[in-house]
Amino acid sequence: MGGGEAELRYLDGDFEIIKPGTHVLCAVTGQAIALEDLRYWSVARQEAYVNAVASLQAEDSEGA
């Protein structure tokens, strides 16, 4: 796997690696998330989140 930021396609319950890398960035906090630690994302928005709180913040901001 290449170093740097990966590019993923987020699917229901899984993701597909488009461009190899070691991490993705949280869409809310900008924090790097190692691919092996990635647990939260949005299929609709194609975004990754560092944790459930960040995921909820993204949901809340979309409804605003």
* Range of lowest pLDDT (20-24, 27-31, 57-61): 57-61
Q: State mean pLDDT over 3-7.
A: 95
Is pLDDT above 70 for 64?
no
Mean pLDDT of 31-38: 98
Give the pLDDT score at 63. Answer: 65
Q: What is the pTM of this model?
A: 0.89
Q: What residue type is 5 in one-letter code?
A: E
Task: Please tell me the distance from the alpha carbon of residue 49 to that of residue 47, in angstroms, as a whole number.
Answer: 7
In this prediction, residue 61 carries a pLDDT of 83
| Helix (DSSP H) and strand (DSSP E) numbers for the chain | 1, 6
